[in-house]
Structure 1
Amino acid sequence: MNNRNRPAQLRTEDTSSPYFLHPSDNPGTILVPQPLTGSNYATWSRSFTTALLAKNKLVFVDGSILLPARDDLLYQPWIRCNSMVISWLRNSLSPQISSSIMYLDDAYAIWFDLKERFSIGDSARIYQLKQQLMSLSQGSSDVNTYFTNLRIVWDEFKSSQPI
């Protein structure tokens, strides 16, 4: 079967396929500006999810595409893309957290592990955010600065609430 007759998901050069890797994609790429340190899980997760969506690779961490059977035509492309996503994940973690997932071979398993460990609301941080919200005042700031500061604290507070 020539490549044109393959279904779209099997054509790894099709840019709309989750199996497509751009020539500039490499294991050393850093997708988010701040590594996951633990306390910043909500913002890190959001940033990393956005980056994966842009690269059409979110399906490897959300469980939408699981490891195909060895005899499946998608087995090798899946291994290649999964490995790339794992590299991107490792590059976006603090060294200690990265060490803790070093022997997990599935991007979905890593994502699930990180979510399970770090998405639980940090009660001390939630308390800090509540205090910031209660004490935030416009003072000498202009309305835009005040609203921006309020929005930053509010969004973090909202995202740190248990799901």
Structure 2
Amino acid sequence: MAIGDEFFSETPNSGIGTSNTSSDETANPLFLHHSDHPGLLLVSKKLSGDNYNSWYRAMKISLSAKNKIGFINGTIKETSVEKKPDEHALWQRCNDMVLSWILNSLEPELQDLVLYCTTPHAVWEDLRERFALGNAPLIFQVQRDIYLIKQGQSSIAAYYTKLKGLWDELASYNTITCTCRAQNDRSKLMQFLMGLNESYAATRGQILLMNPLPSLRQAYASLVQKEK
């Protein structure tokens, strides 16, 4: 049984989550779709600790798509059970649902650390304090990985995909936009060419002699054709 299933094994039919819903209801952050359930896995890779940044981004996108961001940033407050009992019941249901989604996205050893937090916001902040790092160490690590990466036994496509993933990750950490896009693109092209196997030395030389230099995508396409 996934975490949270025991809280929702029997749920009164309040009209929330049925197929006959209006657009106003779906825009309400307390709305739950009929496909939502506590055992739902929102991300493909669970948080293990060292993958916090990728987990954070994936979870935030998924929760935003479900209109539940307010439960993790603290903007959706608990309603009064005395003054608005019906609304409080809906809030409690959504609160526990989002809490279950987050707990199910953690490796078992991390679940124990936050199991007794009562709100998604509390869990979110606890995980951030434990695992979030400043950008400088992350940028250093990614840049080092970029300069050390080599094609090795990988195909051109696999090598390029891994390198592009590192570039995208680096871009997500940089808060200052590069004013010289052409220079940035040329740097990526050089990094890509540096890591190629020596069997592509002739093709690499031809690319470097082109004036103007081809784009990264053009160089990649040329090398893939050569590989085939």
TM-score, normalised relative to structure 1 = 0.78
Q: Which amino acid aligns with 1:28?
A: G
Structure 2 unpaired stretches of 5+: 1-14, 176-228
Q: Which residue of 1 aligns with 2:45?
A: 34
In the alignment, is residue 44 of structure 1 matched against residue 55 of structure 2? yes
* Aligned partner of 2:35 among 24, 31, 39: 24
Q: Between Structure 1 and Structure 2, whose CA radius of gyration is higher?
A: 2
Q: 1:81 to 1:97 in 2, by over 3 A?
A: same
In the alignment, is residue 105 of structure 1 matched against residue 111 of structure 2? no
- Higher fraction of helix: 2
Q: 1 CA distance for matches of 2:108 and 2:138? A: 22
Matches within 5 A, 1:8-157: 12=16, 14-70=25-81, 71-72=83-84, 73-121=86-134, 127-136=140-149, 142=156, 147-157=160-170
Q: What value does the CA root-mean-square deviation take over the aligned residues?
A: 2.7
Deviation string, structure 1 residues 41-83 (Cα, Å, up to 9, x no partner):
1110111111111111111111121112222352111110010
Q: 2 CA distance for matches of 1:82 and 1:159? A: 29
Q: 1:101 to 1:161 in 2, by over 3 A?
A: farther
Select between 31-40 and 153-162 the one with higher mean Cα deviation: 153-162
Q: Which residue of 2 aligns with 1:4?
A: none
Residue pair 1:121, 1:160 contacting (<8 A) in 2 also:
no
Residue pair 1:42, 1:159 contacting (<8 A) in 2 also:
no
Q: Which amino acid aligns with 1:88?
A: W
Identity percentage of aligned residues: 39
TM-score, normalised relative to structure 2 = 0.57
Deviation string, structure 1 residues 127-153 (Cα, Å, up to 9, x no partner):
5423211223578964x6555322211
Q: 2 CA distance for matches of 1:39 and 1:97? A: 12
Compute the displacement of 1:155 (Å): 3.0
Q: 2 CA distance for matches of 1:117 and 1:158? A: 23
SS in 2 for 1:59: helix
Select between 127-136 and 104-113 the one with higher mean Cα deviation: 127-136
Q: 2 CA distance for matches of 1:155 and 1:27? A: 32
Select between 47-56 and 117-126 the one with higher mean Cα deviation: 117-126
